[in-house]
Amino acid sequence: MRTMPQISNKGKLMPASPIRKLTPFAERAKQQGKKVYHLNIGQPDIETPKGVLDAIKHIDFKVWAYTQSEGTLSYRKKLVEYYNRANYNVSVDDILVTSGASEAIVIAMQSCFDSGDEVIIPEPFYANYNAFAWMSSVTVKPVLSVIENGFALPPIKEFEKLISDKTKAIFICNPNNPTGYLYSYEELVELKNLCLKYDLYLFADEAYREFCYDGNQFLSPMHLEGLDEHVIVFDSISKRYSACGARLGCFITKNKKVIETALKFAQARLSPGMVAQIAGEAAVDTPQSYFDKVNKEYTERRNMLVAALNKMEGVYCPNPGGAFYVVAKFPVDDAENFCQWMLEEFSHDNQTVMMAPAAGFYSSPGAGKDQIRLAYVLNKEDLANAMICLEKALKEYPGRTLIGESFEAKGKN
């Protein structure tokens, strides 16, 4: 009898993306003629800066060649300009160019962890951190942040409870995906002291660093003294310049042993793309007026979305300080069932909404079951229409539940 080749156990257990797993249902809804408002994924509709697109149009090389494994010198010099304007005090030797922030995170895990080592991450967190850890044979130890206080950093004592001889790092995303929470100076200092006390790396995903609202200033662990050997920053041009398809990121650290080790992994995958780096060089010269305009637009979208959600019966949504996401609590039996029902069963004026169930952004089983992440990446007219659909859907959903009075009082007051 013939047998089929078997896939790996690692492949079987690799977590699926909660952001994309409902895509087949959305595609079927579109085939049925429904308009689907995509609030499930952080794909901005903001235009990419003209200077970035012009740089691509005016490319004149004769050979589309490999670049250096660490990234071209000219692009790294431009990145130094960008980060040193923000007081990072880095050099070209502190930067490794990667294919998106995703590759930077995987390289960092492979450079800093051995199989079975542990990383502590405040949850909810970007779902692919689970996938990157699984790929690198690293164990994620989640520490729970809660919606009642807007997903602020959990108490440091909760981190300490999880630290073992296998713990190698703490990992934050600031501003946070999926919650939009913006960490304060005091919270970063607490993390700094913890990393110094236990000799841990501090990983910081800063892909949303340009998106801070209400006059709040972005702060990086790179701004704290005494952490040069501990901090590794991951960044990307995807969100900053609305250039998700460029797949261009970077890995930044002043720890020379780490950057030397990371380069070996970078050499194994050869090099980041030449065209993306040409575009990235031009992106650094994007005028501040672009960011001011984008920040104003996102602030207005955030205000519209949060207000609309909190007016819906039984829904609570904290007001985030950054990024372009919210996580809201819904009066539903199961957010994944609700999101799938929205695509399969619901329609208002032949329209519906695609969202990301928040359980996929937690590592703890059962957490976030009644929460949903929404990305305010659509124009305000589409966003308003999506909220009308959502409110009507909640009234029709057969799995609607009543939210407790104690939570109502705690969350909305």
Give the separation between CA 274 and CA 65, rounded to whole angstroms: 7
> What is the residue whose two structure tokens read 């990157």?
132
| 3-class SS shares of the chain: helix, strand, coil, % to 5 | 40, 15, 40
Q: Where are the domains of the chain?
A: 11-40+289-412, 50-283
344 CB-contact burial (10 Å; exposed 0-12 / middle 13-18 / buried 19+): middle
What proportion of the chain, given as a percentage, has pLDDT over 90? 92
The DSSP bridge partners found for residue 36 are 352
User: Is 154's pLDDT higher than 80?
Assistant: yes
> What is the residue whose two structure tokens read 């959502």?
390
Give the burial string for 313-338 (b: 16+ CB within 10 Å, else e): ebbbbbebbbbbbbbbbbbbebbbeb
Architecture in CATH for domain 50-283? 3-Layer(aba) Sandwich (3.40)
**Which is more confident, 6 or 103?**
103
Q: What length does the chain have?
A: 413
Q: Which CATH superfamily includes the segment(s) 11-40+289-412?
A: Aspartate Aminotransferase, domain 1 (3.90.1150.10)
State pTM to two decimals: 0.93
pLDDT digits (tens, 9 = 90+) for 236-265: 999 999 999 999 999 999 999 999 999 999
pLDDT digits (tens, 9 = 90+) for 274-300: 999 999 999 999 999 999 999 999 999
- The number of angstroms, rounded, from the C-alpha of 83 to the middle of its chain's C-alpha atoms is 20
**Which one-letter DSSP state was computed for residue 332?**
B
* First-to-last C-alpha distance (Å) of the chain: 67
User: Is 2's pLDDT higher than 90?
Assistant: no
Q: Could you tell me the pLDDT band of residue 403, with boundaries at 50, 70 and 90?
A: low
pLDDT digits (tens, 9 = 90+) for 56-107: 999 999 999 999 999 999 999 999 999 999 999 999 999 999 999 999 999 9
Whole-number pLDDT of residue 62: 95
- The number of angstroms, rounded, from the C-alpha of 279 to the middle of its chain's C-alpha atoms is 22
User: Is 407's pLDDT higher than 70?
Assistant: no
**Residue 36 and residue 29 in contact, taking contact as beta carbons nearer than 8 Å:** yes
**Residue 233 and residue 253 in contact, taking contact as beta carbons nearer than 8 Å:** yes
User: Is 408's pLDDT higher than 50?
Assistant: no
User: Is 406's pLDDT higher than 50?
Assistant: no
Gyration radius from the chain CA atoms: 22
357 closest CA partner among 19, 4, 80: 19
